[in-house]
Amino acid sequence: MIDKRVASAHAAVADIFDGAAVMIGGFGEAGSPIELIHALIDQGAKDLTVISNNTGTGLVGLAALLRAGRVRKVICSFPKTAGSTVFPDLYRAGKVELELVPQGTLAERIRAGGAGVAAFYTPTAAGTPLADGKELRVFNGREHVLEHGLRADFTLIKGRAADTHGNVLYHRTARNFAPMMATAGHVSIVQAAEVVDAGTLDPESIVTPGIFIDRVVHVPSPALESALNEAGASYP
* Nearest CA-CA partner of 158 in 182, 139, 135: 182
Residue in 21, 157, 178, 217 binding another protein, rule: CB under 8 A: 178
What distance lies between CA 60 and its chain's CA centroid? 16
**Cβ 7 to another protein shortest distance, Å:** 26
SS3 assignment, position 3 = coil
**Closer to another protein by Cβ: residue 2 or 232:** 232
Those residues with Cβ within 8 angstroms of residue 202's Cβ, 6 or more apart along the chain or in another chain: none
Q: Per-residue contact track with another protein, 136 to 155, x per CB under 8 A?
A: --------------------
Q: Is 13:157 a contact under the CB 8 Å cutoff?
A: no
CB of 43 to another protein, least distance (A): 26
| Sole binder of another protein in the list 96, 150, 180, 228 (CB under 8 A) | 180
Residue 171 interacts with another protein (CB under 8 A): yes or no: yes
What is the C-alpha to C-alpha distance for residues 201 and 204, in angstroms, rounded to an integer? 9
What are all long-range contacts of 137-142, with beta carbons under 8 Å and residues at least 24 apart? Answer: none
Which candidate, 196, 198, 187, 184, places its Cα nearest to that of 159?
Answer: 196
Q: Pick from 13, 21, 30, 156 the residue near another protein by CB under 8 A.
A: 30
User: In this structure, is the dihedral angle defined by the CA atoms of residues 95, 114, 105 and 56, taken in order, positive or negative?
Assistant: negative
Cβ proximity to another protein: between 16 and 35 the closer is: 35
Q: Tell me the window of 13-21, 44-52, 59-67, 166-174 that interacts with another protein (CB under 8 A).
A: 166-174
Report the site for another protein in 60-119 (rule: CB under 8 A).
Answer: 77-82, 87-88, 91-92, 98, 100-108, 110-111
Contact residues toward another protein (CB under 8 A) are 27-31, 53, 77-82, 87-88, 91-92, 98, 100-108, 110-111, 122-130, 170-180, 207, 224, 226-227
